[in-house]
Structure 1
């Protein structure tokens, strides 16, 4: 006897994958009036989208690969995203020490000139030449580096960017199903019939949809192979990127970008106030691993590469946290993993009910990707509304004039009972939704149980009720980074509290 299944009402669009591209498409489509369902087999941003270098940037090094189109689009999106979510996206200055043995100074000057002008820069300051005997960044560098360059980009809380897109999609009517795996796709002339399974209780159900967007990231080919229509002719390449986090290496708030003899660049970025984020590696994989972990060789590579620049060497023993992700890059037949394009490729098959698969892409261009997806689907679906996300705010991002400092000052008046560090953390995570988080709170006692590391019961309940969180890992490593300051015992206490709550 076949397993009984419930069947949902037909949707206009089923999105498979709860990474940044999937939630971006779901949000855009729901805002245009389509009925949307999104299925993610794990947590939102549970894989690649939470393992980025946490930057909204044009990609300076892509200029060297003559990928001017990608840089242009990414720089334009940098402006749009900064305006839409100024609580989780913040400008940051990058310092590039000049290394005579790697790239001539004229080449860097030319690249930065292009970087300043390719994207119609409005909000961020331009690049400039600097000398380290007078610049604050010079104090952490070895004396052999006497000059360099400074330019602007943005940092982002990447997993929060994913969650906020999903939150906005849900507010506009989308159904967001986490821990729900798409198992069987059956294609009809006008509809898809998709069997999905709840990963928590094992129950199965059927989703009917007029079209499918396959935004499964590294699993995009597996979705294709599960469907009898076949697979894309070229596909993807798996490139593993790993990062490490160490105690803060320098006092100022600028970041560094370092050149490496193998052609890679590495970043050293201030992270969560007390730490420095270092990375990334790029290792091509022949198959998709079941679990992503940084290897000892990757740790040693990052430590040695940044130690070539810093006075204070970085040792593997300094690492307090690490993370790895597999980037599903579109296979453009480049020989070196570092040179594989970071641009996306969209493949639409509309022989019967349409399916559109997303290959590649980077976090900075997710919104533009979503607009292109809806543009392609407009030939197959009747889409009621026009493009709209370019001038909208993400939840919590409606700060007056996109001025975070002014917003933080207002919060300091409204919530004067909160310690400054905790207040900044809440303001950066939740923006104007801090009012929802702290409703009816007038003292720290009202925040409930103190789990440690700055995590209180009030925030935990908010994340469970409003942001699709379910587990301790969701809470301390993706919705927040409280885990950096929590012991295993403290996280265990949170896990037991969550179990008791669900019992």
Structure 2
């Protein structure tokens, strides 16, 4: 189908231009309310659910999204935090997936330069793993499968003279460098939710869909908030974006008019775990290491003072995806594989933090979890009221997935993409339009550095480190956070080092933050730097200002 010409300027900040009715989250302890009418109910507040909510709301559909926990509580905050094509997928002949992901890299990098930026990767050559000619061919394909405007291409380097060779064992003399990108995954989810809300979507966190009954004309869903209050939602269509719970949603929550489950497929749940250790190298490149088991791991600069190492691929059988935790064997594996390359061994005792996520992959009968496709599939069911289930996917392709999903939902509801056209290719995410601060955009990483300088110049009273952190987290929205503040006293009490009352209130009122984990591990990674007592102080402050798990969004409860 020919795509309608986009008459809007590319990378225009549309996060404050709602096209649907204005709405706010509301799950205080009210009695059951009359049914809320909407076009689409989305179940799942990870990257896919929030991305689809944003896209649909931007096309004028009435959207309600519910998430049983906090936004990005599970898989979407537990990635390796890369915007990448997936170099290793070339070995599995996943050319379509790699091309699609490579096409998305620069679209995403330009949409939110405060939370995404280019990153160079170094692959030390180990002749026992893959021959140099094979790596060169793979990198040539990686460079040319999609157009690049921002990211430089690959090249060979001499590790004996390049800075990336210094922390490695001397046996590694040659290497290859290529480009991908980095993303703050949990904040990416929140920014999509913010944009969805600005366009009229209602975003309900800590609200579980406990039942969804289908009939010929629509769906009747029962939503239960954390405080036990119940609300009914009447929707014309349902999108199942529950990630690792997508199959169980169709087997136990969503039912046909006759009370029958609706599941037709099986997910393969694969746990990926990561470790964080004190910084292992001084330069700004990341590493990709080849392992004897044919897998790869990354070692990535993380939060200035640390190195992130991951990931594993462990089959998860019969366990609750939400309870996934790293095993001692996984820690040992990551340390051992990293120590094959670094001159200074990485030991389990060095680990300061770990996290694990469960990837919901399509079961393709592959014996090796690493070989299971990371591509997504959208399954439409129109035997009665429309149902769209999202299977698989990766964070890099979330925007394209959301666009395809919105096209399909519109089609099921009787309107084509020509009538309600795609719009996110070229739109900024919340806070991503820095033009008011720096003028015309050039290159995402350079733009961000100019933005930090502008923030520091405009708010000279801000500590330089704090100014950089706020700029990184909020982008242009830092103006909303700081408001009329003229001094550090205006930021309120420091509840923990570098975290003030003004910011905590902003997170409560604008970003659905309720608990210390929401703030310290998803809206930021300040938990890495805080002591147990400082984390308790943040928890106590939030608890004292949060009653019965209810909170305020944009000034309304």
Equivalent in 145, 156, 180 of residue 118 of structure 1:
145
Equivalent in 383, 394, 404 of residue 429 of structure 2:
394
Matched, 1:385 2:417: no
Post-superposition CA distance 1:62-99 (Å, at most 9, x none): 01111000000001111110111111001011000000
Q: Distance in 2 between matches of 1:278 and 1:241?
A: 11
- Residue number in structure 2 paired with 1:83: 110
| SS of aligned partner of 1:416 | coil
Q: Distance in 2 between matches of 1:467 and 1:227?
A: 29
- Residue number in structure 2 paired with 1:211: 237
Q: Distance in 1 between matches of 2:255 and 2:495?
A: 49
- Residue number in structure 1 paired with 2:12: none
- Measured after TM superposition, the shift of residue 483 of structure 1 is 0.5
- Residue number in structure 2 paired with 1:32: 59
Matched, 1:221 2:247: yes
Equivalent in 280, 291, 294 of residue 249 of structure 1:
280
| SS of aligned partner of 2:166 | helix
Equivalent in 276, 279, 298 of residue 267 of structure 1:
298
TM-score for both structures, normalised by structure 2: 0.88
- Residue number in structure 2 paired with 1:433: 477
Q: Where does 1:392-471 land on structure 2 (aligned, <5 Å)? A: 392-399=427-434, 400-401=440-441, 402=444, 403-471=447-515
Q: Distance in 2 between matches of 1:24 and 1:297?
A: 35
- Residue number in structure 1 paired with 2:132: 105
Gaps of 5+ in 1: none
Q: Distance in 2 between matches of 1:84 and 1:187?
A: 37
- Residue number in structure 1 paired with 2:384: 352
Gaps of 5+ in 2: 1-30, 435-439, 548-557
Q: Where does 1:2-401 land on structure 2 (aligned, <5 Å)? A: 5-199=32-226, 201-225=227-251, 226-229=253-256, 230-289=261-320, 290-383=322-415, 385-399=420-434, 400-401=440-441
Matched, 1:491 2:518: no
Q: Distance in 2 between matches of 1:240 and 1:374?
A: 29
Q: Distance in 2 between matches of 1:231 and 1:110?
A: 45
- Measured after TM superposition, the shift of residue 228 of structure 1 is 3.2
- Alpha-carbon RMSD across the aligned residues, in angstroms, is 1.4
- Measured after TM superposition, the shift of residue 468 of structure 1 is 0.9
- Measured after TM superposition, the shift of residue 243 of structure 1 is 0.5
Q: Distance in 2 between matches of 1:184 and 1:36?
A: 18
Moved more, 425-434 or 393-402: 393-402
Q: Distance in 1 between matches of 2:255 and 2:214?
A: 8
Q: Distance in 1 between matches of 2:324 and 2:499?
A: 27
Q: Is the 8 A contact 1:283 1:337 kept in 2?
A: yes
- Measured after TM superposition, the shift of residue 232 of structure 1 is 4.2
Q: Distance in 1 between matches of 2:390 and 2:266?
A: 10
| SS of aligned partner of 1:70 | helix
- Size of the aligned set, in residue pairs, is 500
Q: Distance in 1 between matches of 2:465 and 2:35?
A: 45
Post-superposition CA distance 1:165-198 (Å, at most 9, x none): 0000000000000000001110011110001100
Q: Is the 8 A contact 2:515 2:543 kept in 1?
A: no
Q: Is the 8 A contact 1:232 1:347 kept in 2?
A: no
Q: Is the 8 A contact 1:87 1:429 kept in 2?
A: yes
Q: Structure 1 232/332 Cα, relative in aligned 2: closer, same or farther at 3 Å? A: farther
Q: Distance in 2 between matches of 1:341 and 1:502?
A: 42
Q: Distance in 2 between matches of 1:336 and 1:252?
A: 34
| SS of aligned partner of 1:392 | coil
Q: Is the 8 A contact 1:453 1:483 kept in 2?
A: no
| SS of aligned partner of 2:231 | strand
Moved more, 119-128 or 380-389: 380-389
| SS of aligned partner of 1:502 | coil
